Amino acid sequence: MAASVLSAVKTEAQIINNSMLEEDPNDNSATNEEEKIKPRWGPYHKGAKELAGLYSRGKRMQEIVCVCICITLMVMNLYFMALHFKFEKVTTIFLVALAGIFTADFASGLVHWAADTWGSVELPILGKNFIRPFREHHIDPTSITRHDFIETNGDNFMLTIPGLTYMTYHFCFKTNEEVQNYYYWFSYLYLLAIFVSLTNQIHKWSHTYFGLPRWVTLLQDLHIILPKRHHRIHHVSPHETYFCITTGWLNYPLEKLAFWTTLEWLIELVTGCRPRADDFKWAQKRE
């Protein structure tokens, strides 16, 4: 199924000529002599090195704090979810939890598209802290495989904290009857939080071609989480499609609906801003 989806979006020639050869264990990302001198992709690209150097101690501390808070809230909420669980609700819980996974996939695409397409590394606060990793990732897709757990997941864990805090408040201060009335909603929120927090870890695995545990590759092969081959489509320059990176289930229908291109056309029409202008600027910083 994945192969048929790919063939409808990008050709093999486009993949080979316009994206980094990530699966090459020798890091031979150059496809011609010019690219050996002026790397088009990878850790030796001038722009990639400059962007990697902008990762700050303050950013690191923010990620550590967010990971600690998020994990604490997840454990607390899992306990409360188990405490209030009723078996007769299991079918509906499964359906709303599945809706949470679909929402996480769409949210990953929306955030990914926005950060890839608009804004600049020079923006105050947001630029270096949140847009910078997206610019680096397009020039050096395998950089994410060299990031540890904190750097990989800190921002996604941060996004889930408001929703998890909302759940914890209700479990701690509302009556059992009130909790039961909201249990389906909490099931949706909890699975949404789990998959949002894991999105960048799943994304990292989609760029890891060697040494993954068998259970991860099995989930990729079954397309329960984002497969490598599927995500490779996004990394075909100019990175204008397949933005959903949690499961990737919504990429093909959104592509067929021209969802992202229509949004970009409307925004450019209203604002005059060109999609991916900053992304293109960084890609041109070659030695």
pLDDT of residue 3: 42
Q: H-type helices in 84-212, by residue range?
A: 90-117, 126, 132-139, 149-173, 176-181, 183-206
Q: How far is the C-alpha of 223 from the C-alpha of 78, rounded, in Å?
A: 26
Cis peptide before 238 (omega within 30 of 0): yes
Mean pLDDT, contiguous 10-residue spans, the chain (287 residues): 50 71 57 56 80 92 98 97 92 93 97 95 91 92 93 97 97 94 95 96 94 96 95 91 96 95 96 92 77
Residue type, 218: L
Q: How far is the C-alpha of 50 from the C-alpha of 53, rounded, in Å?
A: 5
Q: How far is the C-alpha of 247 from the C-alpha of 220, rounded, in Å?
A: 9
pLDDT of residue 7: 44
Q: What is the pTM of this model?
A: 0.88
pLDDT of residue 14: 75
pLDDT of residue 33: 53
pLDDT of residue 26: 47
Q: How far is the C-alpha of 106 from the C-alpha of 133, rounded, in Å?
A: 20
Question: Contact 264/18 with Cβ under 8 angstroms?
Answer: no
